[in-house]
Amino acid sequence: MNILITGIKGYIGNSLELKFKKKNKIFGISSKTERLDYKKLLKKKIKPRVIFHCAGTGLVGINKIPYQIHKKKNLESTKKLIKFIKKIKLKKSIIVFLSSQAVYGKVSANKISEKNKTLPISDYGKTKLMAEKELLKVKNNSIFILRIFSIYGIGLKKQIIWDACKKFKKNELTFRGDGNEKRDYLNINDFTKLSEKIINSKKKVKKQILNVGSGSGIKIRVLLDKMKNLYGIKKKISFSKKYNKSEYQNYVSSNLRVEKFLNWKPKKKLSKELNNYIRWFKNYE
């Protein structure tokens, strides 16, 4: 099976490559080195059976990077992919887009379902939602929009788990916010197994939007306390109370649709995987 992965040098793209490369032929392009140049693929006349569209920006918070960069990497990269799909007249393939929880914006529900309104408050979320809408126009293929919550796992070098380990190493124990924000953490191995289920599914799909998380939330202060104890630090953690709008939201996925549709449930336990991550971090550093 031919599989195309955009953003193959990113954490999720690379994890998908490792998952599928033994039994499939992988073609990857990266915005980091090639600016998502499809010319080589056009010359090879490749028609992928599956496309994982992972290319995009990785910073979710408001105003961390300019809007134009979000637009270029999230929206324009998607338009380039669609142009490629049309040029090769791709049909009966599976296209999986890695969207984000950020498309929902401010939500008061304990768990976010696909029925919640999409009112993004960050440039990241806005451009991800625009990219979704472009892909949903693509015909003659199966379109999966995966609204991913917080992915974590060994090898990830960004976001709160990585940042916390770096702080613990320096004996710094002050964090942004007040620690009561809830997040939903999904292990990368559970995500790649879900991806495997998607490409092996016999169900006929035109368009499907799925929330993808662990299905349970944890307060940031509880997460950091767990990590602190696993790291071997006895001092207390404190919070600066400083945060932006996108950070001070509760993002917890309702997994009901994805569990029912693909018969998939996450299996990795957060405490055990945090311990594995910290062990990796200490060896890495």
Q: Which helix (H) or strand (E) holds 231?
A: helix 220-231
Euclidean distance between CA atoms 197 and 144, whole angstroms: 12
Euclidean distance between CA atoms 85 and 97, whole angstroms: 14
Euclidean distance between CA atoms 113 and 145, whole angstroms: 14
CB-neighbour burial class of residue 160 (10 A; exposed 0-12, middle 13-18, buried 19+): buried
pLDDT value of residue 284: 81
Percent share of the chain, pLDDT over 90: 77
Asked if 212 and 190 touch (Cβ cutoff 8 Å), the reply is: no
Is the pLDDT at 216 greater than 70? The verdict is yes
Q: Token pair of 256, please?
A: 């009901």
pLDDT value of residue 57: 80
Is the pLDDT at 20 greater than 70? The verdict is yes
73-103 pLDDT, tens per residue? 889 999 999 999 999 999 999 999 999 999 9
Instruction: Mark 65-80 as b/e (b = at least 16 C-beta within 10 Å).
Output: eeeeebbbbbbbbbeb
Residue 237 confidence class, pLDDT cut points 50, 70, 90: very high
Residue 68 confidence class, pLDDT cut points 50, 70, 90: confident
pTM value is: 0.93
Q: Which amino acid is at 125?
A: G
pLDDT value of residue 139: 95
Q: Token pair of 76, please?
A: 């324009």
pLDDT value of residue 117: 95
Asked if 119 and 106 touch (Cβ cutoff 8 Å), the reply is: yes
Domain ranges within the chain, ordered by starting residue: 2-152+185-215+253-266
Is the pLDDT at 60 greater than 90? The verdict is no
Lowest model confidence (mean pLDDT) among 37-51, 130-144, 216-230: 37-51
Going by their DSSP bridges, the two strands 182-183 and 218-219 should be labelled as antiparallel
128-183 pLDDT, tens per residue? 999 999 999 999 999 999 999 999 999 999 999 999 999 999 999 999 888 999 99
Question: If DSSP codes are grouped into helix, strand and coil, which group holds residue 194?
Answer: helix
Question: Which residues have CB under 8 Å from 9's CB, separation 6+?
Answer: 28, 30, 32, 33
Q: Report the CATH architecture of 2-152+185-215+253-266.
A: 3-Layer(aba) Sandwich (3.40)
